[in-house]
Amino acid sequence: MAIKKIVLIDFNKVEFKTSEAPYIRKEDLKIINSDKNILITDISCKDKSYTITLASEINIKCLSFLVYKNVSYKILYSKLYEAESFNKKYAYSGSLGCEYSKHSSTFKLWTPAALSVKLLLYKKCSLESLKPDFIYDMHETSGVFNIKIGGDLSGLFYRYEVNVYGNINLAVDPYAKAVGINGILGFITDIEKTSPEDFKNDTLSWNKSFTDAVIYELSVRDFTMDKNCFSKYPGKFLGLTEKNLKTSEGLSAGLDHLIELGITHVQLMPVFDFSYTSTDERNPVKYNWGYDPQNLNAIEGSYSTDPYDPINRIYEFKELIMAFHNSKIFVNMDVVFNHIFSEKDNNFEKIFPGYYFRIDETGKYTKSSGCQNDTASEHIMMKKFIIDTVLYFVKEYHIDGFRFDLMGLHDTDTMNELRKELNNLKKGIMLYGEGWDFKSNLPENKKASIKNSSSMPTIGHFNDAFRDTIRGSVFIKNDKGFVNGKEGLENKLKNVCAGSIKYSKEMSGLFNSPSESINYFSCHDNNLLWDKLYLSNSSDSEDNRKKMHKLCFAIMFLSQGIPFISEGDEFLRTKKLDSNSFTAPDSENQIYWNLKHKNHDVFQYVKSLIDFRKNHPAFRMKSAEDIIKNLKFIESPKGSIAFELTNHANGDTFKDILVIFNANKNKISLKPASYEWKNVKELNPSKIESSQIEIDPISCSVFYR
């Protein structure tokens, strides 16, 4: 008979299951903890599930085993970490990591599992040999190992030696604010001294609605690698601080391009310290997006001009933030808390094996992310780590928003608590992420996914319904959407244009508020729009595909919700049809600035759409009630939709606005009830006004009165 799923559910309670249901007496079993036999006081059975009560508590610093018929089974502790008794005994709400002052430094590491922890200090951080120059024993208080060391420690590197479950592990502090080359050691410094002059006077804050934002996703490396933008710091943080970058055709590039385009927020792909196995900071020739976090409170070194100097990367990243803020562009950060790149070789696991990750009842680490170990945000100290880290980036780096990678893997409580903490700290911080529905051991109603958006107010989600309705599935190459020729999508399109709120009985109502819908049609993942249209519409002319591309942008900027651009889409960027370029070379990933010249008409069109949206609050309504009240769909031919935004919606200067999206390859005409509609010249420059409204093939027209 097999005994399985043996878990500690409280300090003195073990649960296990059997494949059959024989009678097991307590005399048949032994529980061994720390080489000692623990007395069993009671055993109960329901179906094939047994609960054992112990006379004394299990010491979690040692492994435990259940012995039955001379076979020994390891008892899993992961369930205990959800128990109230565990949190009562060990949860710690104070600050962790290294707290530096000129006179002393205090180090705190949370690991109730460790038998002992040593602090190792190093004068140098060398990849060739690492020998600590000073070693200190740390003292434990309820799971927190701490030590205070007198003197000015700035300039020294550090890590911990953790004695846990029979292993001696060397780990970098997860709270390390600065790190040495390739993130192999933490660094002690006066963080105040890592800021450019005037950084403390950088007080930009977003005091508008989230629906007023226009997000632009970019990779630090991609944006200035191309020789044709003449950056002095190609691929570096400083490349994004350079003003007056111009292409050989005389067009603005880099930061100036973003200012010209008119976006409000950049979303930076990973800038926290990512794994050296992805990109070696010493010689960063190997390309990687960076979705494999290593030191989440520290900054990536391959984007700095001197990765050996731990302060340099912080300083230059802050320069980047200043450059954006001085240009009135807000900076959102892509954060990846949902997985760590290696099952065993990561600091969390070396410090407290099994605590920070989800483990199923058979003892396996779950990997729903598809990118290695899923973290356990529902465990109180992982939740604290996420919240502490995000708040730190707001306070120390003046970050304005956070995009949560695979947010659906986290739990709603963590995201809501973070939202609350952010609101207390500073107004206008954006919080949004990928609310995909993953398999996880969370209860269905606790997943931070789109389907639970109503229990996570003012947290945004990437709207895949918007994306797929407009241009077809990202997973089926030749699948089409509204703009590229699929029929019967009119109602779905109406739904997403209305911010995916519950506009009417027939509509799905993904969100309670338009500020929760991140409207997008491409991002770093999957095919870019221009590549997608090539794959789905290869028989169409390039001219038609260009029209489809422009129509996508028109729908996005004239819809309710928050628009999101993927770098270079505004001038038909291509990645040679690659749908996953995370390790592809620069030659594929970098922005080719000559495309801005080649497809300048598309760029100009996107720019006019952004201008128009910014000038017209009717497209940026703040609530579902406003949308229901002011947005009216009107009849139009098949393959098109038309709506009016009425009554000076959201304080618009126009009384009414009429928008028509025509995906047909022929002209359509509308006979609106009134003949007073005037053409919006910024968007339809060639249109002649007449009593009958005609819409060109695959295009958008906007009118007002």
Instruction: Name the residues that contact Ca ion, by CB under 5 A.
Output: 183, 273, 300
Spatial separation of the C-alpha atoms in residues 627 and 617, rounded to whole Å: 12
- Please state the φ and ψ torsions of residue 294, each to the nearest 5 degrees: -120, -60
- Please state the φ and ψ torsions of residue 88, each to the nearest 5 degrees: -65, -40
Contact 188, 100 (CB under 8 A): yes
Distant-in-sequence, close-in-space partners of 96: CB < 8 Å, separation ≥ 6: 108, 109, 110, 144, 175, 388
Contact 657, 676 (CB under 8 A): no
Q: Which of 570, 599, 572, 605 is nearest to 684 (CA)?
A: 605
- Tokens at 182, concatenated: 């390739």
Q: Outline where DSSP puts E strands in 11-92.
A: 13-18, 29-33, 36-38, 40-46, 49-54, 64-68, 71-74
Q: Residue 217 or 273: which CB sits closer to Ca ion?
A: 273
The 3 state secondary structure assigned to 469-480 is: HHHCCCCCCCCC
β-bridge partners, 686: none
Spatial separation of the C-alpha atoms in residues 303 and 314, rounded to whole Å: 10
Helix %, strand %, coil % of the chain (to 5):
30, 25, 45
What is the nearest approach in angstroms of Ca ion to the Cβ of residue 122?
18
Residue 698 CB-density burial (10 A; 0-12 exposed, 13-18 middle, 19+ buried):
buried
Q: In what order do the strands lie in the sheet with 699-704?
A: 631-634, 640-645, 657-662, 699-704, 678-679
Q: Residue 64 or 275: which CB sits closer to Ca ion?
A: 275
Residue type (1 letter), 121:
L
Let me know the angle formed at the C-alpha of 50 by 44 and 55, rounded to the nearest 5 degrees: 60
Q: How many CA atoms lie within 13 A of 79 on its CB side?
A: 18
- Tokens at 612, concatenated: 């128009």
Q: Which of 564, 700, 574, 572 is nearest to 640 (CA)?
A: 700
Q: Which of 616, 624, 670, 633 is nearest to 500 (CA)?
A: 624
Spatial separation of the C-alpha atoms in residues 270 and 332, rounded to whole Å: 10
- Tokens at 152, concatenated: 């000015």
Q: Outline where DSSP puts E strands in 341-429.
A: 373-374, 401-404
Q: Measured on CA atoms in the order 445, 446, 450, 454, is the torsion positive or negative?
A: positive
β-bridge partners, 54: 40
Spatial separation of the C-alpha atoms in residues 59 and 702, rounded to whole Å: 70
β-bridge partners, 108: 97, 146
- Please state the φ and ψ torsions of residue 436, each to the nearest 5 degrees: -75, 155
Q: Kindly report the number of other CB atoms within 10 A of residue 46's CB atom.
A: 8
Spatial separation of the C-alpha atoms in residues 161 and 169, rounded to whole Å: 6
Contact 627, 621 (CB under 8 A): yes
- Tokens at 369, concatenated: 């992310």
- Tokens at 99, concatenated: 């707290």
Per-position DSSP letters for 280-317, written without gaps between them? -TTSTTS-----SEEEEEEE-STTSS-TTSHHHHHHHH
Please report which residue ranges of 502-599 form alpha helices under DSSP H.
Answer: 529-536, 542-557, 586-589, 594-598
Residue type (1 letter), 235:
G
Residue type (1 letter), 483:
V
What is the nearest approach in angstroms of Ca ion to the Cβ of residue 235?
14
Which residue sits closest to Ca ion, CB atoms considered? 273
Spatial separation of the C-alpha atoms in residues 175 and 8, rounded to whole Å: 29
What are the catalytic residues? 405, 434
